[in-house]
């Protein structure tokens, strides 16, 4: 089990919290905190991906060939 120092508190405006609470109803999240953590992880992972080097021309050709063979192009 993690210690209490594994987490920090982030404050958001009450109206936003209430709106998020409505948004997640029936969506499978246990709490607004779980939803916020999910969204922030998603944003952080997208940001990390954008920092990687772009595909080489050869990699792009391979990807396009695979998409074409799968019927997407």
For residue 43, give its domain range. Answer: 4-69
For the chain, what is the domain count? 1
CA distances, 16 to each of 32, 40, 44, 55 (Å): 10, 15, 21, 39
Total-model pTM:
0.57
Greatest pairwise CA separation for the chain in angstroms:
51
Q: Express as a percent the part of the chain with pLDDT over 70.
A: 88
CB neighbours of 10 closer than 8 A, spacing ≥ 6? Answer: 36
pLDDT in tens, 59-71: 889 888 888 888 8
Q: Is 44 helix (H, G, I), strand (E, B) or coil?
A: helix
pLDDT in tens, 19-49: 999 999 989 999 999 999 999 998 888 776 6
């Amino acid at each position: 089990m993690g210690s209490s120092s594994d987490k920090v508190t982030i404050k958001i405006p009450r109206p936003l919290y209430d709106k998020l609470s409505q948004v997640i109803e029936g969506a499978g999240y246990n709490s607004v905190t779980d939803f916020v953590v999910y969204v922030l992880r998603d944003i952080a992972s997208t940001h990390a991906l954008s920092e990687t080097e772009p595909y080489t021309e050869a990699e792009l050709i391979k990807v396009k060939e695979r998409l074409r063979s799968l019927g997407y192009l």
